Amino acid sequence: MAWLRRNGLLGVLVLTAGLAAACSSSPPPVPAATPGAAGAVVTPSVGTAGDSVAGYALGPGERVRLTVFRHEDLSGEFDLDGEGYLAMPLVGEILGAGLTARQLETEIETRLKGGGYLVNPQVSIEVLTYRPFYIIGEVNNPGSYQYVNGMTVINAVALAGGFTYRADQDDIVITRGGSEGKKIDDVKPDTAVLPGDIVEVTERFF
């Protein structure tokens, strides 16, 4: 009987050890995804610095880096002159103002191919220097400021030294791309500011 009790106790110990080992080797639980609207899975979004200039039309005074794949002699940095033209080897002057970087790439490729210079040109364009933007009205230091990717209204106001005590912070108007551009009245602190924009902070009336 003592022999049976000893063997029974040994079996219980072996079984307990096996269960403990199995539990410790199991993988950690996977966190459940958080459902969003319509059951979609919500994942953190990562913004890029160039998001606010997607579709931006180039303008006079800007500088671009133009690369023609495998043709360093045609590549380089080019300035858009006062009328928005840039001059490059072979194709001559090209009007870049009013075109997006992608549209300008296509235009140069068409010129190179249509002129018989290259069979299958591949062109890429990167904007190096943007036009400044302007902020006027009820800010402490109105004037022109160098544009950087991701610029918003609140960034622009901060660069200009903040609001004056007379500023109507709920009445800001953006003229897109210059004095003849489209006016945007529904302006929030996180509204994007683009190169050439005029940001006007109006005065409040007591």
* Residue tagged 């380089």 (tokens): 76
Instruction: Determine the pLDDT at residue 206.
Output: 72
Distance of CA 44 to the CA centre of its chain: 16
Nearest Cα residue to 117 out of 70, 168, 155 = 70
Q: What is the pLDDT of residues 23-67, one digit of tens each?
A: 344 333 333 333 333 333 322 222 333 445 668 899 999 999 999
Report the predicted TM-score, pTM, of the whole model to 2 decimal places. 0.66
Q: What is the DSSP letter of 40?
A: P
* Residue tagged 């590549």 (tokens): 75
Q: What is the dihedral of CA 184, 186, 190, 191, to 10 degrees?
A: -20
One-letter amino acid at 173 equals V
Instruction: Determine the pLDDT at residue 15.
Output: 37
Instruction: Determine the pLDDT at residue 55.
Output: 80
C-alpha 61/C-alpha 73 separation (Å) is 23
Q: Is the separation of the CB atoms in 187 and 193 below 8 Å? A: no
Distance of CA 35 to the CA centre of its chain: 26
What single string gives the DSSP state of each residue in 78-113? EE--TTSEEEETTTEEEE-TTS-HHHHHHHHHHHHH
Supply 19's token pair: 């269960």
pLDDT tens-place values along the chain, 206 residues long: 443 344 444 444 333 444 344 434 433 333 333 333 333 332 222 233 344 566 889 999 999 999 999 999 999 999 999 999 999 999 999 999 999 999 999 999 999 999 999 999 999 999 999 999 999 999 999 999 999 989 999 999 999 999 999 999 999 999 998 888 999 999 999 999 999 999 999 999 87
Determine the 3-state secondary structure of 23 from DSSP.
Answer: helix
Instruction: Determine the pLDDT at residue 29.
Output: 37
